[in-house]
Amino acid sequence: MTLKQVLIQVPGIVFARGPAVAVLILLESDDGETFAVLTEQVRVLTGKVVLELPAGMLDDDEGDFVGTAVREVEEEIGIKLKKEDMVDLTAFLHPSTGHQIFPSLRLQVEQETIRQLQDKETGLREHGEFIKVRLVPYRELWRKTADAKVLVSIGFYEMPLREGLVPTH
């Protein structure tokens, strides 16, 4: 039975998730090209392989969004970060939005780092995660996926960037 046949037989399901975080990671290569780091995973409910941001659910009730972001980046991408490396892109929003954390990270790396990350297989196998890392030139990112988190992250990054609020190294 194919995945599509299985999906056709599955009744409508609503999956109510708790608090989660997604991370926009931009790697600036020493040749001047900037790449967005995405994960490629099969999403059963869509029946498709999806390019999306590294993301994950909070494991506790403490609301440590940044700590969760750092953990998920290490698990899904293999990059070890510190909390202070993260930029809260929602800090620029009006207070009425609740300022939910949508972290971003921009790193300068050598071309070899880009080559090592491209197509790297990651994820916690014991949790059923089978993830492939994909690096997409940032200028093409909006055309490469229909994932809403990716598209929203571009807006969350670009608007403060235009106003000089986001560090560019």
For the chain, give the DSSP string. Answer: --HHHHHHHSPP-------EEE-EEEEEETTS-EEEEEEEEEETTTTEEEEE--EEE-SSSS--HHHHHHHHHHHHT-----GGG-EEGGGGS-GGG-----EEEEEEE-HHHHHHHTT-EES-GGGT--EEEEEEEGGGHHHH---HHHHHHHHHHHHHHHTT-S---
Whether residue 38 is predicted with pLDDT greater than 90 in this model: the reply is yes
User: Region 108-120: what's the mean pLDDT?
Assistant: 93
> Which of the given ranges, 42-46, 90-94, 105-109, has the highest pLDDT on average?
105-109
Q: For position 99, what pLDDT does the model report?
A: 61
Q: For position 7, what pLDDT does the model report?
A: 47
What percent of the chain stands above pLDDT 90?
32
Q: For position 137, what pLDDT does the model report?
A: 95
Q: For position 64, what pLDDT does the model report?
A: 80
Between 145 and 60, whose confidence is greater?
145
